[in-house]
A and B are shown apart, each in its own frame.
Chain A
């Protein structure tokens, strides 16, 4: 336990340094990009004095290092990520609006990927080289090579346009008074409004499927191959002949070691869900974080870009930490080595 704590502290320090470096790099890049974000925001017709005043307010007329540390001071002391020149809101407020929506979408997708990826992979491995396995392998190959937006369009045409089972896009508006977390479904749940939650879920079905099907397929392939590696392992043959029942053998003795590669890939896939959801969010008119991040980048909105990068950095770091914790829980060889 103490080792885990030491590891966490080490990781946290490491992680803060990485984030600082990352934000500084982004700051420099934005300055390097040609074009004046302030002029872009105010328009060509704006008087020169206004532009200059705003440049001064935003520290754009100061050296890069000064501007950076001014920004960092705001982040550390007030949690203030600056002003967005695109939405004209505080950046932190924008993030609070858009990020939870994408997180909820990613959450459902992550659950689907874990359950079905592992399930399909296991079935495929246990029926290796039979027609069941062949069908699964074909479908998962198809799933891996089909881009999510193609899946999205296909699902839209079939289930929303033709069969009319699900809405074409958008998400039900959540009444202002019950918004707490910003996640539409969770807010409806917290308010005890089951009907609204049902509506939200219904609108999330197609986008969730669109972003998760490819990942499920990929996950299933990874899990299949690591299961097969274990089916042939000596320790499985030994446990079998020593008298462990088949159910225990599959669900525990094969599953646990097979999960090591599966879990690593799973973590990275979940982290990537947020960034890769952009086209899906556009297609389903889901006002989420991916869409927001792309818009601020296209509009060269300096503080928002830094904040968005920052958020992705935090998400990847946290996911990586969780992967490492998970893998060290699964694999005592790693855990015991780390404690030496």
Chain B
């Protein structure tokens, strides 16, 4: 089981056609997720996390997006040609950022849920569909599921809507779940409930997960492996706990330091500056502009992911990272 991949993504590049030209958001990205693995994807807003997830789920609008990759394989299905892309879409589930826009405002919850069941498991009796819908709502700890089924999205709170979304995305038999900031649009009090719920469901059913979140504490708790993204590149990846304990890439160090701590003194420092323009991205390292360790080498040559010494599975893309194996 352990050496089975659910996601294999080689040399992905995504650009967006806009009026001013081509936004080269993701220049070339590799990512693998093993079966049953829970993976975290972090990075500041606008660095391409959602783009990666939407590419994997094959729901990116093209145009404006222009997607290229050497290989995209999800749960053993290759995304080649239109049929391939459709097959890939069938194998993944995705939870969106904002539950207030990811449910159809004009249809009852029961209609939206039963349409998934009718499409996925056609030809069953109405009572069976009804029973399954109630079960899946109970599985996400939804109070009064009958009433929720009979409601429209506007009648539910944000937390309830996200529970419905999670329930809906677990309805089809997919082994692989993409959660795109599932709690960003919710109250902090609800955030933990939802993440706990997601964690429990994924563990119970032994599914694979990519969790994109700004709640770093939750990412640390839930995931085993971490990808850190900056401006369309994965700058560091490794086992979650160790990476949190001793980050190597200057961006990761800054990102983790920016988290306010209960024990700390006041508000933590951020990283000065902004993500570079995707219209004319820098030739060298995309982080160089904001990096405390910047040298001339960084401006000329973009670093690639290289293994960190004596740490299997830990890679960092920086010319000046500590403990890196020199080629």
Of B96-104, B194-202, B243-251, B314-322, which stretch is located at the interface? B96-104
- Contact digits for A79-106, partner B, Cβ 8 Å, 1 yes 0 no: 0000000000000000000000000000
Please tell me if A336 contacts chain B, counting CB pairs below 8 Å.
yes
Docked complex: A163-200 residues within 8 A CB-CB of B: none
- Within the complex, the shortest CB–CB distance from A64 to chain B, in Å, comes to 50
- Contact digits for B25-58, partner A, Cβ 8 Å, 1 yes 0 no: 0000000000000000000000000000010010
Complex contact B104–A248 (CB within 8 A): no
Q: A234-B101, A235-B103, A331-B106 are in contact. Are A244 and B94 (CB under 8 A)?
A: no
Complex contact B116–A257 (CB within 8 A): no
Q: Which residues of A contact B90 (CB under 8 A)?
A: 243
* Number of A-B residue pairs having CB atoms within 8 Å of each other in the complex: 89
Complex contact B106–A243 (CB within 8 A): no
Complex contact A241–B89 (CB within 8 A): yes
In which size bucket is the chain B interface? 20 to 34
Please tell me if A130 contacts chain B, counting CB pairs below 8 Å.
no
Complex contact A235–B115 (CB within 8 A): no
Q: Which residues of A contact B277 (CB under 8 A)?
A: none
Please tell me if B237 contacts chain A, counting CB pairs below 8 Å.
no
Kindly state the separation between the CA atoms of A330 and B106 in the bound complex, as whole angstroms. 6
- Contact digits for A224-247, partner B, Cβ 8 Å, 1 yes 0 no: 000000001111111111111100
Please tell me if B71 contacts chain A, counting CB pairs below 8 Å.
no
Please tell me if A256 contacts chain B, counting CB pairs below 8 Å.
yes
Q: Which residues of A contact B119 (CB under 8 A)?
A: 243-245, 248
Q: Which residues of B contact A244 (CB under 8 A)?
A: 112, 115-116, 119
Please tell me if A78 contacts chain B, counting CB pairs below 8 Å.
no
Q: Name the residue of chain A whose CB is nearest to the CB of B103.
A: A235
In which size bucket is the chain A interface? 20 to 34
Docked complex: A280-339 residues within 8 A CB-CB of B: 330-333, 336
- Contact digits for B91-124, partner A, Cβ 8 Å, 1 yes 0 no: 0111010100111111110011001101110000
Which of B54, B105, B120 is the one whose CB lies under 8 Å from A331? B105
Complex contact A336–B154 (CB within 8 A): yes
Which of A232, A233, A242 is the one whose CB lies under 8 Å from B168? A242
Please tell me if B133 contacts chain A, counting CB pairs below 8 Å.
no
Please tell me if B13 contacts chain A, counting CB pairs below 8 Å.
no
Q: Which residues of A contact B152 (CB under 8 A)?
A: 332-333, 336
Complex contact A248–B118 (CB within 8 A): yes
Q: For B57, B93, B103, B105, which residue has the most chain A Cβ atoms within 10 angstroms?
A: B105
Q: Name the residue of chain A whose CB is nearest to the CB of B54.
A: A237
Please tell me if A11 contacts chain B, counting CB pairs below 8 Å.
no
Q: Which residues of A contact B104 (CB under 8 A)?
A: 235-236, 239, 253, 256-257
Which of A232, A234, A236, A252 is the one whose CB lies under 8 Å from B98? A234
Q: Which residues of A contact B107 (CB under 8 A)?
A: 252-253, 256
Complex contact B172–A242 (CB within 8 A): yes
Which of B89, B103, B118, B171 is the one whose CB lies under 8 Å from A240? B89
Please tell me if B268 contacts chain A, counting CB pairs below 8 Å.
no
Q: For A234, A240, A245, which residue has the most chain B Cβ atoms within 10 angstroms?
A: A234
Docked complex: A245-270 residues within 8 A CB-CB of B: 245, 248, 252-253, 256-257, 260
Complex contact A239–B106 (CB within 8 A): no
Q: Name the residue of chain B whose CB is nearest to the CB of A253.
A: B104
Complex contact B116–A336 (CB within 8 A): no
Q: Name the residue of chain A whose CB is nearest to the CB of B108.
A: A332
Q: A241-B92, A332-B154 are in contact. Are A235 and B105 (CB under 8 A)?
A: yes
- Within the complex, the shortest CB–CB distance from A152 to chain B, in Å, comes to 38
Please tell me if B61 contacts chain A, counting CB pairs below 8 Å.
yes
Kindly state the separation between the CA atoms of A236 and B152 in the bound complex, as whole angstroms. 16
Please tell me if B169 contacts chain A, counting CB pairs below 8 Å.
yes
- Within the complex, the shortest CB–CB distance from A253 to chain B, in Å, comes to 5
Which of B106, B111, B155, B169 is the one whose CB lies under 8 Å from A242? B169
Kindly state the separation between the CA atoms of A330 and B107 in the bound complex, as whole angstroms. 9
Complex contact B96–A243 (CB within 8 A): no
Please tell me if B165 contacts chain A, counting CB pairs below 8 Å.
yes
Which of A237, A241, A257 is the one whose CB lies under 8 Å from B106? A257
Q: Which residues of B contact A332 (CB under 8 A)?
A: 105-106, 108, 152, 154-155
Complex contact B101–A235 (CB within 8 A): yes
Please tell me if B59 contacts chain A, counting CB pairs below 8 Å.
yes
Complex contact B105–A257 (CB within 8 A): yes
Q: Which residues of B contact A331 (CB under 8 A)?
A: 105-106
Complex contact A248–B155 (CB within 8 A): no
Kindly state the separation between the CA atoms of A330 and B108 in the bound complex, as whole angstroms. 11
Kindly state the separation between the CA atoms of A224 and B177 in the bound complex, as whole angstroms. 33
Docked complex: B73-103 residues within 8 A CB-CB of A: 89-90, 92-94, 96, 98, 101-103
Kindly state the separation between the CA atoms of A336 and B155 in the bound complex, as whole angstroms. 8
Q: Name the residue of chain B whose CB is nearest to the CB of A234.
A: B101
Docked complex: B108-145 residues within 8 A CB-CB of A: 108, 111-112, 115-116, 118-120
Q: A253-B104, A336-B152 are in contact. Are A242 and B96 (CB under 8 A)?
A: no
Kindly state the separation between the CA atoms of A253 and B172 in the bound complex, as whole angstroms. 18
Q: Name the residue of chain A whose CB is nearest to the CB of B58.
A: A241
Q: For A232, A233, A240, A242, which residue has the most chain B Cβ atoms within 10 angstroms?
A: A242
Complex contact A238–B89 (CB within 8 A): no
Provide a sorted-by-A list of 6 A–B residue pairs whose CB atoms are within 8 angstroms: A237-B96, A237-B102, A243-B119, A248-B119, A257-B104, A332-B155
Apart from A237-B59, A331-B106, A332-B105, list 10 A-B contacts with CB within 8 A.
Answer: A234-B102, A236-B104, A239-B112, A241-B89, A241-B93, A242-B93, A242-B171, A243-B171, A248-B119, A332-B154
Residues of A participating in the B interface, judged by any CB pair closer than 8 Å: 232-245, 248, 252-253, 256-257, 260, 330-333, 336
- 8 closest Cβ pairs, A-B complex: A245-B119, A332-B152, A243-B172, A238-B102, A234-B101, A235-B104, A237-B59, A256-B106
